[in-house]
Amino acid sequence: MYKRISAVMFPITLLLLVGFIFWGVQQYQAKQAVLIKAENQYQRAFNDLTFHMGKLNKQLGETLAVHTSSNGHQRKALVNVWRLSGEAQTEVSQLPLSYLPFSDAEQFLSRISNFAYKASVRDLLKQPLTDQEFKTLQTLHEKSQEISQDLSKMQQEVLDNNLRWMDIEMAIAKEDAAQGNLVVDGLLDIDKKIGEYPELDWGPSVMSMYEQKSFKALSDHYVSPEEVKSKAVDMFGWDKSKIKIEENGVDSEYASYVVTYATSDEKKYVRAQFARQGGHLLFYMNDREVKEEKLQLEEVKNAADKLLEKLEFKNMKAISYDKFSNSGTFTYVGSQNGVLLYPEKIVVEMALDNGDLLSMQSREYVQEHQKERKLPEPKISSADARKVLHPKMAVEVERLAVIKGESGEEVLCYEFTGKINDTIYRIYINAETAIEEAIEQMSREDKHVTTALGQVMGQK
């Protein structure tokens, strides 16, 4: 009997064993294929990074070598610096550096890229590179040569020692094992060197991109949690007993209070954030489900107008409408003497079922608001500004507006809203230089803006 069972089970067991071995070999081969692919990608990214850093150093040298009067060649060289530094950033992101502090190197490449871009897009005939910018380029050329040489040395070490990036990734993940690894030590050394570089003058246009703006002194009064709780009750009609408050960024210039309110549905919460300085509302979110649409976009926009007045955001003008998933979103900006102030922005989302507030982002307004801006007078007429527009643009609205320019500074512009090929555009022409500062395409719902606002300065 046992012989009969053995005779049946043995081939079955043998078949299962062979199948298991075959499956294991397949899994091993698949794993090896993935590892080889990852290794090849890491090797390619590192080799490309080394190559592009060498090219970047060469291009910075050519930028310095070009005569200041050769604006075309200078612009081309700067564009190449921007492109190469951008490619180098991409390659750094493809290396297995998640456990390795390499932030100084990444930020250095980011600033080179932005410095070159900001310089290349401006009118170099009217705004040639300054002596300080040439000095910065000279420093960048010297430092990029140093980085390029270090990377080339590491590349040679990888080849000479037959190092694998998969092993390097494991070494980085295990901090103790990472000590003494040629590549890890080399990368850490590069990042440390960059971190010790003297602070460069990148110019206001670049530094404004990295600037963390604090809450401006709209009020010198620092509010307490109890004051914030009372403010939330006044603004939103909440039951004080259902409010919870947490402090955020304590003892910093960005300190705020996060307020959480329990709704009738205990699983749902409404959240708001207030700046500790002055108690200004920064953020509001009610993530409730919006039911069937019952109200028109213009109706909820009127409700949003009244809400902003109630929340003490004065002189706000809606400049953009949007509609999505039974809600209407409106972008508001401040105004002063009829001039729109785009830096002072608030985004409001309203429910189209009952007109309730769903969300609000007012941080930019709080950070940028000034009680009274000193607005310059236009140096060119609106007629001269219109000459810059496409001849087929049918202008429907014309007004003055303050926007952020390429250098991060505030610029007074003529804003023209109109259609080209059945698409609504908003174009901003510098009111001092007649240079086109910005252009934006508006949404379908923005036709409401054109109708509602009419013309501030008169149609021509």
Q: What is the pTM of this model?
A: 0.61
Average pLDDT score over residue span 392-396: 89
pLDDT in the model for residue 159: 80
72 or 270, higher pLDDT: 270
For tokens 């489900």, the residue is 289
pLDDT higher than threshold 90 for residue 384: yes
What band does 15 get if pLDDT is binned at 50, 70 and 90? low
What percent of the chain has a predicted confidence (pLDDT) above 90? 21
**Per-residue model confidence as pLDDT tens digits over 406-458:** 667 789 999 999 888 888 889 999 999 898 888 888 776 666 555 555 444 44
**Per-residue model confidence as pLDDT tens digits over 110-162:** 888 888 887 877 777 777 888 888 888 888 889 889 888 888 888 888 788 77
Average pLDDT score over residue span 240-254: 80
pLDDT in the model for residue 211: 57
225 or 38, higher pLDDT: 225
Average pLDDT score over residue span 45-66: 87
173 or 423, higher pLDDT: 423
Mean pLDDT check: name the lowest of 21-30, 74-83, 271-280, 312-321. 21-30
Average pLDDT score over residue span 201-206: 64
Average pLDDT, the chain: 80
pLDDT higher than threshold 60 for residue 460: no
Quick one: tokens of 209?
């991109």
pLDDT in the model for residue 303: 93
What percent of the chain has a predicted confidence (pLDDT) above 70? 76
Quick one: tokens of 415?
């804003």
Average pLDDT score over residue span 272-296: 87
User: What is the identity of the amino acid at 291?
Assistant: K
What band does 276 get if pLDDT is binned at 50, 70 and 90? confident
Q: Of 91-105, 189-203, 400-414, where does the model show the most confidence?
A: 400-414
Average pLDDT score over residue span 276-288: 88
pLDDT in the model for residue 456: 40
pLDDT in the model for residue 177: 44
Mean pLDDT check: name the lowest of 42-56, 125-139, 216-230, 234-248. 216-230
pLDDT in the model for residue 125: 76
pLDDT higher than threshold 90 for residue 333: yes
What band does 341 get if pLDDT is binned at 50, 70 and 90? very high
